[in-house]
């Protein structure tokens, strides 16, 4: 198990070192804006803020309210494309 987590850390390290993580993040962000995910979540944020009150809302509140919804709302096509790229990266660098 410790070996597994060690390996995960190594892969993550590599993702960051190669700059691939940043690229993937940028791609994901662009896709999510494009498909309206961001607008949906913003609308949800609005509800949360109105509920809690403008002055009292914290980042933690937003994160706990928004993250589950955000995960669920990512379209399958976007997931698929990201996974494709991650797999390609893994195939390239896991067998070095």
Partner 1 sequence: MKMEEVSMSSLDNSKLEGLAQDILSDLVEDACLGLCFEVHRAVKQGYFFLDDTDQESMRDFEIVDQPGLDVFGQVYNQWKNKECVCPNCSRSIAASRFAPHLEKCLGMGRNSSRIANRRIVTGNNTNNKSESDQEDNDDVNDNDWSYGAEKKAKKRKSDKNPNSPRRSKSFKHKNSMMGPRHRMDNQESPRMLMKDEAFPQ
Sequence-separated (6 or more) residues with CB below 8 Å from residue 66: 41, 44, 45, 48
Nearer to partner 1, 29 or 36 (CB): 29
**Contacts to partner 1 by CB under 8 A:** 3-4, 6-8, 10-12, 15, 21, 24-25, 28-29, 32, 38, 41-42, 45-46, 49, 54, 57-59, 62-63, 66-67, 70-71, 74, 79, 82-83, 86-87, 90-91, 93-96
C-alpha to C-alpha distance for 75 and 37, rounded to whole angstroms: 8
**Smallest separation, CB 87 to partner 1 (Å):** 5
C-alpha to C-alpha distance for 55 and 49, rounded to whole angstroms: 9
């Amino acid at each position: 198990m410790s070996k597994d987590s060690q390996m995960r850390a190594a892969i993550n390290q590599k993702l960051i070192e190669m700059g691939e993580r940043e690229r993937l993040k940028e791609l994901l962000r662009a896709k999510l804006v494009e498909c309206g995910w961001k607008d949906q979540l913003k609308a949800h944020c609005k509800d949360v803020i109105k509920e809690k009150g403008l002055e009292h809302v914290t980042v933690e509140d937003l994160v706990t309210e928004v993250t589950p919804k955000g995960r669920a709302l990512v379209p399958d096509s976007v997931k698929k494309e990201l996974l494709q790229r991650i797999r390609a990266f893994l195939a390239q660098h896991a067998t070095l």
